[in-house]
Structure formats: C-alpha cells, structure tokens
Chain A
Amino acid sequence: MLFLLVVLFLSSCDLNREPETTFTDDKFWKTETDLQYACNRLYNLLGGFEVDTRADDLYSGPNSTSNGSWNIPNTNGSWADPYYRIFTANNIIEKSVNANVKESIKNRYLAEACFFRAYHYFQLVVKYGDVPLLLHAINDLKDPLLLSPRTPRETVLQQVYDDLDFAAAWAPTRANLAKDQYGRITKSAALALKARVGLYEGTRCKFHNYGDPEKHLKIAVDAATQVMGEGHVLFANYFDMFQYAGEGAANKENIFVKVYGVKTTENALVTHNNSRNLENNYAPTRNLLTQYLCADGLPWGTSPLTVKPETSYNDIFANRDPRMGMTFYKIGETAYKGAFVPYGFGKTGYSIKKGYIQTDWDSNGKAVVDKALIRYAEVLLIYAEAKFELNGSISDDDLDKTINALRKRVGFNVRLTNQFVADNNLNMRNEIRRERTVELAAEGFRYDDIIRWKIAEDVLPVDIMGAKFIDSEWTGTTRASLGSMLSSDDLLIVERKDVRKFNPARDYLYPVPLNEISLSGGSVTQNPNW
C-alpha cells in the first residue's frame, strides 16, 4: 500500500487546475462570433438616455456644474467610465490579432472597436481637455502606462480622427448593413461622429482662441458632406422621430442608435425610464421656450406675433415654430396622467412632450424606445455651422440643404436666407445656433454647445426662469406654496442668479478627480485654477 501511495503521489501531484465552467481568455478571440461578442460589450456599455441639466435649457433642481458650486471630487465616473470602455476597445484591438478570420471581417470588428475608442476619448476631451491617451489594454499593474501623464488634446483628437477614418473605411455602409444588425456601427456613424468632433474642436479653438480652427472645421465640413452622400433622409414627422414610429433602419434619419428592447415588457432586457424622467426629473426652462421663432421667422419678443403680456399658460405657444408644440405640453393636452396641468414645486412649470410615450410611462422602468445618439438632422446642422464658421458666411443653397430642410420637415415655411437676415437685422451665426438649439432641444447638446461657443459665462450665471404663474390655470398649486419663487411679474424663478456663478478661467474644463492625480504619482496634473 505504501508503494501504491508513492505511485499515486508521483502520478497525481499535478497542481494545475483549469476553470471548467468559466471561459478563459486564451480560449477566446478565435472566431468571428468571438469578435462579435467581444464588440457587443461596447454596445452594452454604451449610454443612451441621460438627463443633462448642466446648461440653461433644462432644470431639475440645483446642479453644481451649472451653478458653479462644484468641487474637485475624489473619483468621478466622467473620468473613469470612458476608460472602462476604452480598455474594452483596446483589448479587442490587441487580442483580435490572433483571430482566425478573413482580414475584412476582422477589420469590420476592429472598426467597431476604433469607433468606440474614438467616441469615448471625445467624451473625455470635451470634459477634461488633455487626458492620458492609452492605446493598449493594461494587463499588469506594473505596466508604466498606468502612470501615463495627460496627452495634449490635439494629439488625442488626431487619434480620434484616425480611429474614425479606419472605422469609416471598414464598417458597412448604411445601405449594406444587414437588417438584423441594425444598431451596429456604419460608415455614416463614423463620419458623422468625425463631423461632430470637427465642429466641436473647430469652434472651440476659434472662440477660446487656440489651435487651428480651420483644420477642424474643414474636417467637419468634409465629413458631414460625406455623410450627406450616404442616402440619409430626414424622417417625415419630427414628433414621431422620437416615438416607436421612428425606430429602425427604415427611418433613414437614424445614424447611430442605442437599441433598447425587447419589446415585450416581461422580457425587456435593456430598458430605460425616459418617459417617467420627462414627467418627474427635468423640466425645460423659459429660456429654451423663448428660443423658438415666431411663425414669421422672427425671434419671439421682437416679432409682432409675440403675445404679450401672457394672460394664459398657452399664450407663449401662440404663433410659434411648429416644433414648439411638438416639444412641450400645452395646458389641457393629454399628458402623463390625463390633461396637462402645470405644476411648480422646484420645477419650471413647463414640461417636455418630445419623446414622451404613454406605454413607456405605464411600464415604469421598462421603457424600450430606442435613443438616436446621432441623427441626420444634427449632421445637417454641423454642416451649416461648420461652413459658416469656416468661411464667415454661408450660401442660401447650403441653408436650403440644411436649416431650411429641417424647417420644411415640420411645416415651418419661413426660409432662412442671407437676405432674410439682412432685412430683419438678424445675425446669421445666432440664427444657425438657434436652429440647432431648437431642433436638438432636450437631446443633450446644449451644455457642450455653450462651452465651445464660450457663452457659458454669459448664459449660466442668470436667473433660471420657469412659466408664468396663473392662479386660475394651475389647479392644485397655490400662490402661497410657490412663495418667494415668483418674480414681480409672476414668473417662476427656480434658481436665482445670486447663487449661480461661472468662473471662465476655471469652469470651461472639469476638475480632474483627486485620486487620479495622487494615484498617478503626480504625473496627471490638475486643470487650471482648480
């Protein structure tokens, strides 16, 4: 028996044990399915509906970024989350080298990884400026890359352009994307993102006075022009663009979409709660409502069509750009729980209609309508703005292709032309920006816009205003309960300007979280004046 024991020892002393019910990295990365499933993680991590109340268009209670009371945090998802996605992209780019698939197929998935790497680096640059640029997945805590310093934004953005060029070269076109793959990256998504980056950086350079605005604006114009050749069309109905009717490949306005579903609530896998958020979590400010033009194409307030003074809640909606009625609820319209009644406690009294879906609201947390992250309308606006900022002017022809096409879609038939601007003593830049703000209202663009236009210092430290309180109409809300929130002319002031500030020397960039600085051993530095 002792002999037996010795034999057993010699034969069985193997200390290697492999996980048998968990997949290991060395067995992965072999087939096309592996690559696709690895890329699927990027879509899983992709954010969709996000409430953004940092600017002057939406309000949901005091926002420290908006009112300038923000501090340097120890950690922040705005810094950390994109890097989690970048790791995933880098890992795919590195590991897919070993996959035993055709080069074109491999490149198609590399295109997805490159697109997402660009997408998330752009988000980082928008908030932080210079950020550490990692193009490898760190696999070892001793990797010196972990202590990388911040890379200049120009270099990071060049990498973003390069990645997007690769993505545009290898991703399928809109027309070629298999129907069951709708939601995956296409050539137009890569080009549209490139145009967005170009416009952002071009205008930011221009108004903040650094770098080479022209280079970026040219990139924006070129990329937008290319997208405009990809067969995209504005969806016929602006309101339906944000409803279930606007979902899917059949809507050629969709360029890059976060897909939610599946459509039976019991089995819903990817869900949001946007319709409830619209009801409860944010409200448009008066500032946003005043942006909409009057039916004569002139700004509200200067146009003779302006109804003043407002004696009814709905007066502000009278004679306006049709998009206004598709974006906000009027009193008496069927809304969340029947006829809409304005309400004010801490809110503006206005309410968003754009994207509101009753069945989503009913599902309470299991809403599944898709979110268009890039739509063709934005590309048209990028084209118009980039053209104008690049040349200092824009042709009526270009305006017709872009801004006037958007107006036409909603039946707003006053063309924006150079003549119209001159005749009415308007400013073309303001009108282009106004069009963008109105068309893309409540879609999460406004904060980035006021930053790149360098107008945050003007538009943020002001009274944040809501609707006009009218006793007879605001069922259930008493004047007393609103208390000091009312101005002398009965307008709601949800946050007064004396508690709001914006430091132009500091607040145009986010503070780098303290832990990122200390854990990098000081190689990561803080943004100016923080």
Chain B
Amino acid sequence: MNLFTMKRKLCSWRFIRLFLVSCMILLLDVGLFAQNAYVIKGTVTDANSKEPLVGVTIAEKGQPNGTISDLDGNFTIKTNPKATLTFSYIGYRTQEVKADKTAISVELKENAQVTNEVVVVGYGTQKKVNLTGAISQIDGDAISSKTAPNVMAAMQGELPGVTITRSSGKPGDEGYGMKIRGISSANDANALVLIDGMEGDMSLLNPNDIESISILKDAAAASIYGAKAAAGVVLITTKKGQEGAVKVSYNGYFALTTPGNMPERLNSWDEQKINDIARVNATGKAEFTEEQVEWLKNPNFNYRPNIAGQDRWDYYDNTNYIKEGLNQVSQMQSHSVSLNGGSKQLNYLASAGYYKRDGLLKYGPDGNERYNLRLNLNSEISKYVNMSFLASYNGSFIDENANGTNMILDELYRIRTRQPIYTPEEDTTGNIYNGDLQVNPIDVMKNGGKAIKQYEAFNGKADITIHNVIKGLVINGMVARTQDYYSYDSQRRTLKWYGMTTNTVRNSINVPNSLTRTKNRAFHNTYQATANYEFALANKHNFKLLGGTSFEEYRKDEISASASTMINNDFFSFNYADVLTKTNSDKIETWAMNSYFGRLNYNYAEKYLFEANVRYDGSSRLAPESRWEVFPSFSAGWRLSEENFIQNNLPVVSNLKLRASWGQLGNGAVLGLYDYIPLIDKGSSLVFNDAQALYYYQGTLASKSKTWETIETSDIGLDLGLFNNKLNVTADYYMKQNKNMLATLQVPSIIGVGVSTANVGELKTWGWEVDVKWKDKINDFEYWVGFNLSDSQNELVKYDGKNTISAGTVGLLEGYPLNSIWGYKTDGYFQEAGEYAAYGVEQFNHAKVGPGDVKYLDLDGSKKIDSGEGTPQNPGDLVCLGNTNPRYTYGINLGFQWKGFDFSAFFQGVGKRNFLIETATLAPMLNTYNLPWSIHQDYWTEDNRNAFWPRLYLQNDFNYKPSDKWVQDGSYIRLKNVQLGYLVPVNKKYIQKLRVYLSGDDLWEHSKVLDVIDPEASNNVSSGMYPFFRTVSLGLNLTF
C-alpha cells in the first residue's frame, strides 16, 4: 500500500515537472509577442570609476522585457516611452530611469557603503551598522550555489563560530550537526532554527528557496528568543515575490559521486598471510598450510568439501567484496524551478524542488529523495494593511536495507575474501549464496529486506501587517502551523546460509522474519503578535521599540507496532503475523509555551548605540508555580567611524564599531515534558500462577523545581571596514557560563527512589572569532578573498562530582573539557628478545610481550602499566591526549568574476581535534572475523622494524590500547567546493540569464588521520562508517 502511494506520488511529481517546463516554454512565447518598435540605446557605467559595467540587467518595470549590457556597457532595449527601466547589478544600487529618451547613459553607484545593508534579527530587521549583537549572515546564493545534500552541508565553514559536523555519507542520514560557539551544555542543546518564524528542520529545505540565513550568536541577539536560545538561533528567510514581470528561474545540477576515504581489501592469499602470522604469534599455530595458500592463488581451484569432514564447503576463492558490493560512481541530482512576479497589490513566489541521491550499495535500496514546494504570497490590501501567506511542503524519503547499511558495509570490509559470493554448482541446498564463515553481505543487500523512512511536513502561515496609521508604528499578527507526518516501515527477511546440506545452518539473520512500523503525526502551532514603533527626537535620538507575545503548542501522536513470523518471507503484514509476537505501543507528547518579549533600540545620531532585550517565557514543562522566567540582555555599540577624529585623521577607515553585550539565555532542550508530575511506571517482569503479572510503581520523584539551564553570555566585538569597505573585518571574543546546568543530584540512598537531574552543574565555554573579507575590482576583473577563523574551548566546572577516568574517551570529567581522551604514552616497539624482561614494567598481555610489541611508558613508576585509582589526581600511567571538540575551525573563500566567467574555491578545515578509532577497526585480527586491509601490510617484522603497525597478534588488543600512538590528529583542510561558471551570451530577448557551471565538492583534503578514515569522522569511528562522497557536478542556472 505504502509503495503504491509512493509510486503514485512519483508519477504526479513527474507530471508537475513536465507542467512547469511547459509553462516556461509558454512564457517564452509571451515574451516574443510583447515586442514593439520604440528602441532605446545607452551605456551603463560605474559612478566612481566611469568604467563600463558588463552584464547589468536592464528590465522594463512591470513587464517581461529586459536585456543585459554588453562588454562595453552598451545596451539596446525595445520598449515604449511611458515605460520605466530598472538597472540592477550585483554590488550596485538598483536605479530606475524613465524611458522617455531614446539614448540614455546611466551611472550606477556601488553598494559598497554597507550603510543600508540590512540584517535579519529576531522579530525584524536591523541596519547592519546599527547592530550591537553578534550576528553572522549568509546569502541564499552562497547556499544554493553548492551541490550539497542540504542547507547545513552548504553552510559548513562559511561562518565564523558556526561549526557544522557530519558523521556519515549515507543518503538522507548524513548526520549533520551544528554548534554555534562551541558547546553550551553537557546535556542536550541545539540551536533554535526558525524558518520564516516557524521552528523547522533546515536540512529539509530546498536551498534555492533561501533568501538569507542569520545566525544569532550572542545573548544580545538571541535573548529575544529566551528559553530556547541557549545554543544560538538560526533565522532563515525564504525568498519573497517581487513585483514585476513573471520571472522563471531554473537551477539544477546533475552530479556524479564517488566514495572518499574508505578501506581497500587484500587479495585472499595476502589476507591469509596476515591471518596466519597473527595466529602463529598468538597461539603458535597457523590456520592454513602452504598447500592451502597455494589453492587460494589458484583460480581453477576454489572450493572442496570440508577437510575435517564437516557438513560444509571449504572455500579457496578470491573475491573483491568492495568491488562486488559497492558502486564506484553513483548519481545525485537536483532541480528547482521558481516563478516570481506580480504587482504591488499581489506578488508571489512559487517554487518546486526535487533532489535525489543514490548511495553506495550496488544492490537493494539505498537512497534519499526530497521534494519541496513553496508558495509565498504578498498583498498590499490598502495603504494600511498588508497580508502575506506562505504554504510549503517538504518531504524526505529514505530507502535503506532493513538490516542497516552499517552492518552491510562492515561485512563487505571484513568478510574473508576467500569466501565466494555464490555456492558451488554442485551445491544442492537451493541457496545460490554462500554464507559459510560470515553472513553474505551481497545476499543481505539483495534479499535481507527493506526499510522506508518518510518524513513530510506541511507549513502554512498567514501574516497581517498594519502600518501607516500612526507614523512609525507597525503592528503584525501571525498564525502558523506546521503539520508533519513520520512513517518508518522495516521488513526484515529471514536469510539462512547452509553447509553442504540444509541439515547445517552455517549462518542466518532475522530468524524469524519481522515487521516493525512506527507512525506519528505532529502539529506545532504558533500564534504571534508584535508591535514596532520607531521614532526620533530632535533628529538625533533614534528610538525603536518592539513589543510582542507568542503562544506555541505542540502535540505528537505516535503508534508503533511490531510482529514476527510472517506468513512467508515476502509478504509483510500484521494481519498474517504470529499473534503471540505482536506488540504495540503509543506515545503522545505535548507541550505549550507562552512568551512576552520586548526590545528597545536607541541610538544617538547612529553613533552611540544601545539595545535591551527581555523575554518572559512560560512553559508547560515546568510546575505551575515556577513556570515563568525572565531572560534579559543588554548591549551597546560605539561607531567610532562616525566620530570626527576618525573621519578627519583616518579617512582610510570607512567603518569602525566597537560592541559589547551581556545577557542570559535558556536551554530548554534538557527538560522532559512532564518532569513536575509524579508518573507511574509499568513493568511486567513478574509471574504469578505461571502467567505474566503487571506492576506499577513510581520510579522517579517528580521534580518541581527543575527549570531551564541559564547560560550567561558576554561578548565584545569589533567591526572594521577599510578602503571604502573593500576590506571588512569582524572580530569577537565571548564567554558563556552555564550556571545551573542539569546534573545528577546526589542524595542519600535512603530516599529509595530515582531522583531526576537538578540544576546544579556548571559549564564554562569561551572563544573568539575573526572574519576578514576583501573584495575589489581591477577593470572588469572582480575578485574576493575571505577568511574566517574561530576557536572555542570549554571546561566542565561542576557535574555530579564526575572524577573517574579510564583509557578511552571520558565524556564528563570535572575540571576538564567535555569528551577528553585518556591514554598511555608509548615509545616505539620492543625490538629484541629479552628487551621486555629487561624493561621490568608489567604491560598488558604480560607473559607474551615480545619484539614488535608496543612499549608503553611507566609514567608513575609503579612497574606496571595501569590506570592507578582512575582519577585525574592519580591517573597511573594515563595522560590526557586531547579532546574530540574541534578548535580553530576555519573557512577560506576566494574567487573572481571576469567577462562572464566566474570562479570560486572554498576551503574549510579544523585546526585542532583528536579522536579515537574503534579498536576492532584499528587492529587487524582483533577477532577472527576482523580481516586486515591493505593499510595493515606495513607490520613489524625483524626485517621491518620501523613498521607503522606492531607485530600481528590474533584476538588481543594489547598493542592497541588508547595511546599517543593511536590517537588521531583530526586537524584537516578540505577543498569543500570549487566552481567554474560561465554566463553564456544569449539573446536577451528570450533569456535573461543562462549560466552553466562545473562544480566539485569535497574533492581534496589533507590530514594526518589514518588513510582510510575521513578526518571528519566521529569519535570511535568503526568500519561500518558510510564514507563521505566526492562530487563532481554540472549545473545550469536559467532565468527568463
């Protein structure tokens, strides 16, 4: 049923796309008919340099008619004398000129004076020069120009203080995470993402719909969002309609992707050699005889009945599972079409987007599709009233193997290459797939079952604005609803692999087969009213007041069910499953929040700036008597560049502002839904009369006093523009203190019941950011270079007395940053027999340490390698080897435009980070089924004493304890995006803009991390990690 509707949806989507393309062709024709005989000729030049401007868009206002200036700045346009022409050009102010003369020369003024640049702030906009908070903004163009899987991916490295991480290349499950200014809480804390004022998931957006993204980083900027703002706020504004002729834009690309860093397998005899050496070293006995190794090399001899007479085949084949199971090249594509136009009374923007990415697995489902629809309508009903409507649909569909892609990848990387994919011809079991020593990943891919994850969200919003009734007063009311739907459906098929007969099951999965379904629907309503009042006293004292209130309510209703033992292996329905295995559960989650907020902006002659914010939040999550809390902030700025002593003495300074802010933000992510209500838990591990009995109990005390974590944030910053704002610098230093972080409260055990966390912890986070941009033009060669760098550190000041360490990653440790890595110090290998005995320090695997084993250093002189008392005060031989938090994150952006060509390159990286690799992934032969990779060939032998890997050793991790030898230096630089575009000269009558581009993403990186592991990998990365892709794409921007 599900599949069927899916297919129908696909069909209808194809239809819509066809329809849109047809519309474009139709509109082209309209353009043809709209011509007439009145012709205007002219030139466009730069107002300062008087140089001609190339590629200026000249359009007839309100009509689908336009052209572009040529290489000498000349243009010709057919129009009528009553028309108005608009001249627009990136980086310049748009000008309107009456078409009453047939020859016009127009001078455009550069927009470099950013005085009018406006930035989206909470509940409004603010002139950039008047900002006192720390806000970074990025244009939609910078997002949509990348061939990234989603908006967050496109933002990686772009903004100082905004760290984007990812954990997987799996289509639709890339695991993107965003941290604004480091870590805000040892508990959960995520940035608040508002899309046109509604909370939403930015990874589901169509990147082409985005007008701009503002990141509110400090308390001054974010505290207007109070209890939700602790980890920063992301404000996404989508594109709106613009009055004028209908403009159709298409932006699309087709990309080929290839997996990045991933392991290479060995052929079966090289693999067996490592396997045997590891066995000999550990147990004194090889697995294979020399003859058997010869069989591996012999392509004519691949199997025989088991030597020991067991009911199974012995295989001596050589299979490259990576090649057999994974695509070397897969596809990705994205298409987005938008219509934009209308009159002042009613204008609109409608867009449709489609994105599809295929994964790495050669067989079975592995892909993600996304559909986006959006309609923004604006209407000026009268001089006093504006209304706008927004409707959007985002849907993401992930198809995957029900057994998990990670399991399949892990098997492909680890299955013995001497195992063939198929059973011998003589095999009579009926199963053509072999699964003698391990489950067969090819068979699992093809026949293991599928899972489908669907997430769909519908957004609707209506806005009404009343203005011009009282001068300076604007009143706005907004109602919005997000309705979403989630469905997960997993069908696990039983697979069995036999020996020579079906009497012996060598391996099996999903016995019995099973079906799991989860469905939920949720809504999130927002009602909001704001009033803005702007006025000036004596022309110098400028005031802006904002007052507002909002109410939000949320409800999610979920049903899950599962059952096993279907009627057969191909029909999955609860209706035919084994009745005794059926389970079901429901979950309803609700919350509501009411808020009042206000802001005062004051400036004196736009020179001395002051801002105060306050938000008063009440939440259903808190006990009625302690439901409300205030979150204030204050900030001030001083625009030195407006002072005479700067203007007179330092004319090179075009903009200079100092800012400082202080405020409090709340972290609500940590609160449960009903923490203050005593709840009754249920259990069923009880038997009376040989039947299940139930019991109900209170497992945890209600927590009436629990409240939001309060994060106090201070920031000082500097904005500097030099050389007529060709060079722009922004720098900030910040300090965040989570003063009442939720942590386990220790009470005497006699309380006899679980105690929930309380606001008793403390975390300190601090750091700085610098953003430098240079943009200039030499004749018609326009170029830019940008660089941003930021740092963030943290210290867990107080958390439940957490004071224990062990080798590996320690998440919470008082006095240390979160996620510190502890391990041993090493000093190469023991090279000679007897060297270990002479060393006199007891190591792991004590009795069997020999030449080629790692030498651990006895730092505490205890003559034994250990972790002492397991505390930082008495760590034994453990030392802190860094932490997994990225520091010195940076981005470098450079590019140019010249005669229709544009080029850009964007590098992104991390300056300092450490992480560990899961031991079974790091160590060859940690288990008999952890087969070695090509990187493992450089192992210690008497003839290879400086080997990278120690002596091979089966089933023992003693050489691979967390230590300075194995902890990874996760710093890296990556060519995130490189792009070359060309503005194709076409007849402007029909097409306003045609740009083709070739783009490459993630093409190159440099790091010291072990070759097969990506430097961006998560801590404790395992061999099941889905590799990141490298992408090359060909794209097209078309506007007509």
Contact = CB atoms under 8 A, between A and B. Distances in A.
Contact of B678 (A25, A79, A83, A184): A25
B521 to A, nearest CB: 14
Interface in B660-687: 673-674, 677-680, 682-687
B618 interface: yes
A262 B687 contact: yes
B688 interface: yes
B542 interface: no
Please indicate which of the listed interface residues A1, A85, A90 has the most CB atoms of chain B within 10 Å of its own CB. Answer: A1
A90 B694 CA distance: 20
Interface in B465-480: 466, 475, 477-479
A79 B677 contact: no
A43 B695 CA distance: 9
Interface in A16-54: 16-28, 34, 37-38, 40-41, 43-44
A260 B687 contact: yes
A380 interface: no
A259 interface: yes
A15 B627 contact: yes
Interface in B584-614: 586-588, 590-594
A5 B696 contact: no
B750 interface: yes
Given A9-B527, A88-B752, A2 B464 contact: yes
B673 A270 contact: no
A422 interface: no
A183 interface: yes
A515 B751 CA distance: 13
Interface residues of A, number: 71
Contacts of B529: 2, 5-6, 9
A524 interface: yes
Contact of A15 (B620, B683, B749): B620
Interface stretch (A133-141, A200-208, A218-226, A390-398): A133-141
B549 interface: yes
B501 interface: no
Contact of A16 (B588, B620, B679): B620
Interface stretch (A174-182, A311-319, A468-476): A174-182
A12 B755 CA distance: 33
A499 interface: no
A140 B756 CA distance: 12
A80 B588 CA distance: 34
Contact of A138 (B678, B696, B746, B751): B751
A91 interface: yes
B697 interface: yes
Contacts of A41: 683, 695-697
Contact of A262 (B464, B680, B691): B691
B920 to A, nearest CB: 25
Given A88-B697, A182-B688, A21 B751 contact: no
B412 to A, nearest CB: 32
B688 A184 contact: yes
Interface string A128-156: 00001010011111000011100000000
B748 interface: yes
A242 interface: no
A516 interface: yes
Contacts of B479: 1, 4-5, 8
B477 A37 contact: no
B733 interface: no
A18 B674 CA distance: 7
A15 B592 contact: yes
A141 B704 CA distance: 10
A18 B677 contact: yes
A182 B689 contact: yes
Contact of B753 (A6, A79, A84, A513): A84
Contact of B527 (A12, A25, A138, A139): A12
Nearest to A27: B680
B693 interface: yes
A181 B1027 CA distance: 58
Given A2-B466, A8-B527, A22-B679, A146 B588 contact: no
Contacts of A184: 688
A84 B753 CA distance: 6
A274 to B, nearest CB: 16
A20 B749 contact: no
A23 B680 contact: yes
B307 interface: no
Q: What class of interface size applies to chain B in its complex with A?
A: 35 or more
Contact of A141 (B677, B745, B749): B745
B95 interface: no
A25 B698 CA distance: 8
A520 B746 CA distance: 10
A38 to B, nearest CB: 6
Interface string B692-726: 11111110011010000000000000000000000
Given A17-B620, A19-B673, A516 B680 contact: no
Interface in A242-262: 259-262
A224 to B, nearest CB: 27
Contact of B692 (A141, A146, A262): A262
A386 B253 CA distance: 92
A520 B751 CA distance: 11
B484 interface: no
B695 A23 contact: no
B619 interface: yes
B624 interface: yes
Nearest to A271: B685
B747 A269 contact: no
Contacts of B698: 25, 91
A44 B680 contact: no
Nearest to A143: B751
A195 to B, nearest CB: 25
A233 interface: no
A75 interface: yes
Please indicate which of the listed interface residues B466, B624, B674 has the most CB atoms of chain A within 10 Å of its own CB. Answer: B674
B772 interface: no
Contact of B624 (A12, A16, A180): A16
A85 B749 CA distance: 11
Contacts of A263: 690
A509 to B, nearest CB: 17
Contact of B701 (A18, A44, A141, A516): A141
Please indicate which of the listed interface residues A18, A513, A516 has the most CB atoms of chain B within 10 Å of its own CB. Answer: A18
B751 A83 contact: yes
Please indicate which of the listed interface residues B618, B694, B698 has the most CB atoms of chain A within 10 Å of its own CB. Answer: B698
B462 interface: yes
B487 to A, nearest CB: 19
A17 B686 contact: no
A270 B693 CA distance: 11
B695 A40 contact: yes
Interface string A76-110: 00011001111110110000000000000000000
A508 to B, nearest CB: 22
B553 interface: yes
Interface string A501-530: 000000000000101100110001000000
Contacts of B673: 17, 19
Contact of B747 (A18, A91, A519): A519
B594 A261 contact: no
A143 to B, nearest CB: 9
A18 B588 CA distance: 10
B551 interface: yes
Interface string A372-403: 00000000000000000000000000000000
Contacts of B696: 23, 28, 34, 37-38, 40-41
A194 B701 CA distance: 32
Given A6-B529, A83-B750, A147-B748, 12 more contacts: A15-B627, A79-B749, A83-B751, A83-B752, A87-B752, A138-B752, A139-B678, A179-B689, A180-B689, A269-B687, A270-B687, A515-B748
7 contacts: A1-B464, A12-B527, A18-B590, A26-B678, A38-B695, A139-B702, A516-B748
